[in-house]
Structure formats: structure tokens, C-alpha cells
Amino acid sequence: MNGDRYLLDTNIVLYILNGDKDLSSFLNNQYIFISIITEMKLLSYHSISKNEIHFLKNFIDETEVTPLDDKVKDVAISVRKKYKLKLPDSIVAATAIAYDIPLITADKQFKSITELQLLYFDPNV
């Protein structure tokens, strides 16, 4: 794995923002990435308030937002075909694979992707 660099799935960002101390502690002083898909998902919830948008944008500003470039696009196509994921999830997985960054997620479907460096977070533990 790549030491102190991690790509966070949307659910992990939400756990952190809702006060999960274990995740916050683990990620303290780490270099955090999010996919542009995660940024879009976070900011596009239909009932999000202006205060929540402000809070999210501050969090996003503290991360590195990865673009949807040709490398990610090509890997996403392959991942989607091979694992039959939804397109946004394929892009998140492809981002981790293309940039060689471990993905932290609470989404079990990512466990089947053998190309991923995966850190699975079980919120029930």
C-alpha cells in the first residue's frame, strides 16, 4: 500500500463528517483524496442546506479532488464491464486503481475488485 495516501468513498466522508472518531483518528495527518464523483455526490443531495454546503466545501478544500481523466476513464470502463458496477462506483474504483491509492469504503461491493487496494470500514464494529 502507499503509506499515508487514501482515496475516500462518499460513505466514508459522510461518516467522518458525522463525527466518526475512529476514522478521523486514522486519517489524521494523512493525504486524503476524493474522486470528482464523490465531490459531485456530496454537493448534489437535494435537501442539502447552505450551511451543509459550506461545511462540505471546507472539507473538500482540505482534500485532493482527482479529475476524471483519460486514464481513469479507461480503467472505469474496464471495471464496469468486469464487475458490473454502477458507473459512479466504477469511476471511484478506477480512480483508486489508476492513481495507485488505497480506497477506504464501507461499500461491500468493492471487495470483489481484485485490482483495488482496499480498506473496508465496517461501521457496525
Provide the CATH number for the domain around residue 24: 3.40.50.1010
Domain, as residue range, for 66: 5-120
Question: Is 7 within 8 Å of 102 (Cβ atoms)?
Answer: yes
User: Is 15 within the bounds of a domain?
Assistant: yes
Question: Is 114 within 8 Å of 18 (Cβ atoms)?
Answer: no
Burial-class residue 119 by CB neighbours within 10 Å (0-12, 13-18, 19+): middle
User: Is 105 within the bounds of a domain?
Assistant: yes
Mean pLDDT to the nearest integer, 28-50:
95
User: Is 125 within the bounds of a domain?
Assistant: no
pLDDT of residue 111 exceeding 90: yes
Mean pLDDT to the nearest integer, 45-66:
94
What DSSP designation does 60 have?
A: H
User: Is 96 within the bounds of a domain?
Assistant: yes
**The pTM is what?**
0.93
Helices 36-43 and 87-99 pack at an angle, to 10 degrees, of: 140
Question: Is 35 within 8 Å of 95 (Cβ atoms)?
Answer: yes
pLDDT of residue 1 exceeding 50: no
pLDDT of residue 3 exceeding 90: no
Q: What's the grid cell of residue 69? A: 481523466
What DSSP designation does 28 have?
A: T
Mean pLDDT to the nearest integer, 14-34:
94
Q: Beta strands 118-120 and 31-35: pairing type?
A: unpaired
Total count of domains within the chain: 1
Mean pLDDT to the nearest integer, 64-74:
97
